[in-house]
């Protein structure tokens, strides 16, 4: 594989066609020497090459600097497919449909937070159900669940969670149009019925942060980010409902591919034409799961606000932005001189339209970043950038290397308090299991895909 990789400049590697048989386009990997040095094997690069073989792919098979091995597509992978000639693939979206990030900001001074954080953190932990639980959230009737799946955060606002202004600061206004609740299986609905407002486990978190450094005063002021003040970042997705939607679609598409004459190098890359009946059914179910995920973050944010209000009644938290990083969108982009309607898959990758916020979470104990998208991203990567730090070791390996007690002591020395539902698995998310997020952010800035606005330093975290 290495002989097919060519460094173009300090932030880009080109993967030439020929790396695997049948590549229709080259691969483009955003990586500096640091990122490239962490690639212990070629599994993720092989996935970039395999994605490049899929029907209807346009431009490149992209990989962001947080690239690591995933299901079918690499995590950090971006691929756009012609809406008429290309496919849609659940492996290009992922199991946690619309996993994403919501950022809340405030005018609360970090020094004032320090006086109450020992009481505030347990209150947050009690208010936001976490862990790999089957329930614990807001119980939904079948009618209410369908309304969430179709209407997104508008349902939550109607029922007293958050405000309409939150929806205005959420991707797509907090609702993907064209969602089809009827295409979400009863099994998926059963899994999600009691999970709205729950955090889940793994790398999901609610993190109290401090605005530590400003890189663009103009953009920071526009977004309401004040140096030395408190922010809260929420990272989670569609829970069991989204997982089941993905699982259901994979089974259907594996059976349907032969009918459309589609052959893939890895069964995890199964897909069908975007315009096919199966493709449209999955698109409708995926959008419904995304609406559930956005509403989930919205309801969690409401719980966070209520806790903060008890400690800081006159200093509200407001939504800066909410954006997903596991979705496929139908978008219009100009490529090779003409406008085209494309199905853009972003798996562990974030939209980066010019001027819109980009939220890049760190890895529990390391900084997170706020950036903005650029015209160059729209022109070169179909408005896409990275989504986080990106793992360098598996969860199993991280657990072998890092015990929970050692990790808690290490984080405490850095000034970070942690509460977790399951301390045994806390080591999975040790900062050492991830790339240096600052390097990842520097790569996308160096490549012109997004520009730094602010750095956020962690103060306290709740984990599943």
Say if strands 57-68 and 27-30 run parallel, antiparallel, or are unpaired. parallel
- Rounded Cα distance between 98 and 408, Å, is 30
Q: Which of 153, 155, 185 is nearest to 170 (CA)?
A: 153
What are the Cα distances from residue 68, in Å, to 42, 107, 154, 442? 10, 37, 35, 18
Locate 461 and state its tokens: 């975290």
Q: Which of 333, 345, 387, 439 is catalytic?
A: 387
- Please provide residue 385's backbone torsions phi and psi, each rounded to the nearest 5 degrees: -145, -170
The verdict on whether 387 is a catalytic residue reads: yes
Locate 82 and state its tokens: 């012609």
Locate 134 and state its tokens: 């089957």
The enclosing H or E element of 419 equals strand 417-420
HSE, CB side, 13 Å, CA atoms: give it for residue 101.
24
Does residue 434 contact residue 391 with C-beta atoms inside 8 Å? yes
Does residue 420 contact residue 464 with C-beta atoms inside 8 Å? yes
Say if strands 326-335 and 57-68 run parallel, antiparallel, or are unpaired. unpaired
Q: Which residue has the tokens 């001027």?
A: 355
**Could you please report the per-residue DSSP string of 56-71?**
TEEEEEEEEEEEE--S
Say if strands 75-82 and 338-347 run parallel, antiparallel, or are unpaired. antiparallel
Does residue 324 contact residue 287 with C-beta atoms inside 8 Å? no
- Rounded Cα distance between 358 and 350, Å, is 7
Give the bridge partners for 458, in sequence order: 209
Locate 219 and state its tokens: 């953009």
Residues designated catalytic: 387
């Amino acid at each position: 594989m290495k002989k097919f990789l060519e460094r173009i400049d300090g932030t880009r590697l080109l993967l030439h066609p020929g790396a695997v048989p049948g590549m229709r386009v080259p691969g483009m990997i955003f990586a500096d020497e640091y990122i490239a040095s962490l690639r212990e094997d070629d599994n993720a690069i092989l996935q970039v090459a395999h994605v490049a073989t899929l029907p209807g792919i346009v431009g490149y098979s992209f990989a962001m600097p947080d690239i690591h091995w995933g299901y079918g597509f690499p995590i950090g992978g971006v691929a756009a497919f012609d809406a008429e000639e290309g496919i849609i693939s659940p492996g290009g979206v992922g199991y946690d449909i619309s996993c994403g990030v919501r950022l809340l900001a405030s005018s609360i001074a970090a020094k004032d937070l320090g006086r109450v954080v020992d009481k505030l953190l347990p209150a947050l932990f009690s208010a936001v159900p976490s862990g790999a639980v089957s329930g614990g959230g807001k119980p939904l009737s079948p009618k209410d669940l369908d309304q969430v799946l179709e209407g997104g955060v508008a349902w939550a606002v109607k029922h007293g969670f958050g405000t309409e202004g939150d929806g205005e600061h959420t991707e797509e206004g907090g609702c993907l149009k064209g969602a089809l609740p009827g295409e979400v299986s009863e099994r998926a609905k059963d899994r999600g019925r009691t999970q709205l407002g729950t955090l889940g486990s793994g790398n999901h978190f609610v993190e109290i942060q401090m605005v530590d450094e400003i890189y663009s005063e103009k953009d920071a002021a526009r977004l309401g980010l004040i140096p030395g003040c408190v922010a809260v970042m929420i990272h989670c997705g569609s829970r069991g409902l989204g997982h089941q939607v993905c699982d259901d679609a994979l089974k259907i598409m594996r059976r349907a591919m032969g009918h459309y004459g589609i052959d893939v190098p890895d069964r995890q890359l199964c897909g069908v034409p975007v315009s096919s009946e199966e493709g449209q059914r999955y698109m409708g179910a995926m959008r419904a799961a995304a609406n559930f995920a956005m509403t989930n973050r919205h309801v969690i944010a409401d719980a966070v606000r209520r806790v903060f209000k008890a400690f800081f009644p006159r200093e509200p938290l407001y939504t800066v932005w909410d954006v997903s990083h596991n979705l496929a969108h139908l978008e219009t982009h100009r490529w090779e001189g003409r406008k085209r309607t494309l199905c853009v898959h972003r798996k562990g990758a974030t939209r980066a339209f010019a001027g819109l916020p980009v939220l890049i979470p760190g890895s529990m104990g390391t900084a997170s970043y706020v950036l903005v998208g650029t015209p160059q991203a729209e022109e070169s990567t179909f408005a896409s950038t990275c989504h986080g730090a990106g793992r360098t070791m598996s969860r199993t390996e991280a657990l072998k290397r890092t015990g929970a007690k050692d990790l808690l002591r290490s984080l405490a020395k850095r000034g970070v308090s942690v509460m977790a539902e399951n301390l045994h698995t806390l080591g999975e998310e040790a900062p050492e299991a991830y790339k240096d997020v600052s390097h990842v952010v520097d790569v996308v800035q160096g490549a012109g895909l997004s520009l730094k606005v602010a750095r956020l330093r962690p103060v306290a975290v709740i984990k599943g």
